[in-house]
């Protein structure tokens, strides 16, 4: 007589596998919020006045004396002797877009806070073009109001960067951060994709623009796609990571964004630098966002922040332990079932 096979241990084994699948699904679903990846949602409410009305801004009336010429592609003036009206074309690099200026960091400044008071007369004296422009520390250094931004550490990192070493005084803060348009992004925008696009555009302003690149060098601007062809899934990397993640090194952890630009030979090319539990992205690109979410919702919720994702970098201790318990139970069940089969 053939003994009927007992299917009960097999069903237990199957149920364990199904249960583990459900738990992992819950874990992965916690790692994203529906529709968040492609939704543009600024963290800070845009207080810019509607349309072209900028009068509510401090010093707007004063600034309009400059912007009536520098805020458009053409300007007119009257010749004091002939009394004729002349129309001239404004140089592109001297045109200030009011819309962008009035959402920038310096929107409440007067033009003459940074530029000479002599600019109020027209035509401007020629030697004014050679005036020394203030740097970041001239305004932000040694001021308790700006201490949290650690401008002194930023200055130190910048002075050790390849840009500063190669171009000396020709390369200033303004080469990357246009004082008329720059708007800090990493702290004010919770949409990581927008931050990546904005910050990479700063680098591409020179490295993707031949005329700007050759203002500082006669060398040929390298083809960025060819230089980065070693990257697997190159297009996705460009959309998901800022240039500075691989091309900078932090000297001091107090700064949100590293300013020490490395030589190309020292750029990050090791996949595990990002795709690991100690991802450099968590210390740079996602640092501020994780800090904000963590303080509001707790540590483990911050790990599953919607856009804060790099393969291999997201870890939850409790899910890890639960998965090990499930695997252990499955192994014990198989061993126990095998022993019973051998005995019987």
Helix (H, G, I), strand (E, B) or coil at 316: coil
- Burial (0-12, 13-18, 19+ Cβ within 10 Å), 236: exposed
**pTM reported for the whole predicted model:** 0.65
Helices in 122-175 by DSSP H: which ranges?
A: 136-140, 151-159, 162-167
- Encode pLDDT of 107-153 as tens digits: 989 999 989 999 988 888 888 888 888 888 888 888 788 888 888 88
CA distance 49 to 53: 6
Residue from 221, 37, 225, 252 nearest 155 by CA: 252
**Could you say which of 100, 131, 162 is where a domain stops?**
131
**Is-contact 36 306, C-beta < 8 A?**
yes
Statement to judge: residues 163 and 251 lie in one domain: yes
In a domain, 231, yes or no: yes
> 121 with 61, same domain?
yes
Q: Which of 25-39, 44-58, 256-270 has the lowest mean pLDDT?
A: 25-39
Backbone φ, ψ for residue 41 (5° rounding): -140, 100
**247 inside domain:** yes
Residues 189 and 262 in one domain: yes
Same domain, 176 and 241: yes
Residues 179 and 262 reside in one and the same domain: yes
Q: Are residues 96 and 151 in the same domain?
A: no
Q: 75 has which bridge partners? A: 88
Of the three residues 246, 269, 292, the one that is the final residue of a domain is 269
100-118 pLDDT per residue, tens = 999 998 998 999 998 999 9
Q: Are residues 183 and 259 in the same domain?
A: yes
pLDDT in tens, 48-106: 444 567 888 889 999 999 999 999 999 888 877 778 888 989 988 899 999 999 999 89
Domain count, the chain: 2
Say how far apart CA 121 and CA 111 lie, in whole Å: 13
Band of residue 22 on the pLDDT scale cut at 50, 70, 90 = low
* 159 in the same domain as 117: no
Query: Among 269, 300, 328, which residue terminates a domain?
Result: 269
In a domain, 78, yes or no: yes
Q: How far apart are CA 243 and CA 208, in angstroms?
A: 12
Per-residue model confidence (pLDDT) at position 83: 80
Domain carrying residue 243: 146-269
Quick count: other Cβ atoms within 10 Å of Cβ 195? 21
Q: Let me know whether 75 and 124 are in one domain.
A: yes
Question: Does the residue 165 lie in any domain?
Answer: yes
Which of 40, 306, 50 lies closest to 198, judged by CA?
40
């Amino acid at each position: 007589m053939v003994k009927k096979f007992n299917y009960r241990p097999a069903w237990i084994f199957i149920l364990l596998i199904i249960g583990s699948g459900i738990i992992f699904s819950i874990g992965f679903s916690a790692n994203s919020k529906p529709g968040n990846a492609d939704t543009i949602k600024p963290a800070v409410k845009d207080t810019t006045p509607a349309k072209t009305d900028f009068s509510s801004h401090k010093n707007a009336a004063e600034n309009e004396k400059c912007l009536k010429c520098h805020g458009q592609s053409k300007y007119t003036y009257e010749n004091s002797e002939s009394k004729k009206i002349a129309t001239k074309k404004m140089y592109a690099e001297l045109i200030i877009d009011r819309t962008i200026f009035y959402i920038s960091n310096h929107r409440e400044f007067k033009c003459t806070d940074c530029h000479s008071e002599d600019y109020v007369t027209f035509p401007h004296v020629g030697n004014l073009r050679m005036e020394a422009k203030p740097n970041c520390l001239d305004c932000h250094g040694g001021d308790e109001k700006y201490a949290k931004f650690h401008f002194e550490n930023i200055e130190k990192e910048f002075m050790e960067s390849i840009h500063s070493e190669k171009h000396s005084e020709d390369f200033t803060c303004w080469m990357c951060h246009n004082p008329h348009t720059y708007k800090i992004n990493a702290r004010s925008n919770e949409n990581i994709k927008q931050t990546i696009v904005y910050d990479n555009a700063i680098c591409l302003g020179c490295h993707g623009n031949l005329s700007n690149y050759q203002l500082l060098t006669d060398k040929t601007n390298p083809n960025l796609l060819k230089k980065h062809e070693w990257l697997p899934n190159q297009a996705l990397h460009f959309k998901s990571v800022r240039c500075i993640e691989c091309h900078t090194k932090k000297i001091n952890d107090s700064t949100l964004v590293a300013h020490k630009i490395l030589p190309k030979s020292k750029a990050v090319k090791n996949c595990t630098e990002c795709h690991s539990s100690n991802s450099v992205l968590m210390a740079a690109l996602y640092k501020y966002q994780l800090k904000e979410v963590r303080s509001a919702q707790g540590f483990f919720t911050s790990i599953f922040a919607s856009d804060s994702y790099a393969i291999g970098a997201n870890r939850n201790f409790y899910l890890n332990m639960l998965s090990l318990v499930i695997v252990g139970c499955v192994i014990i069940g198989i061993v126990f079932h095998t022993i019973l089969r051998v005995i019987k």
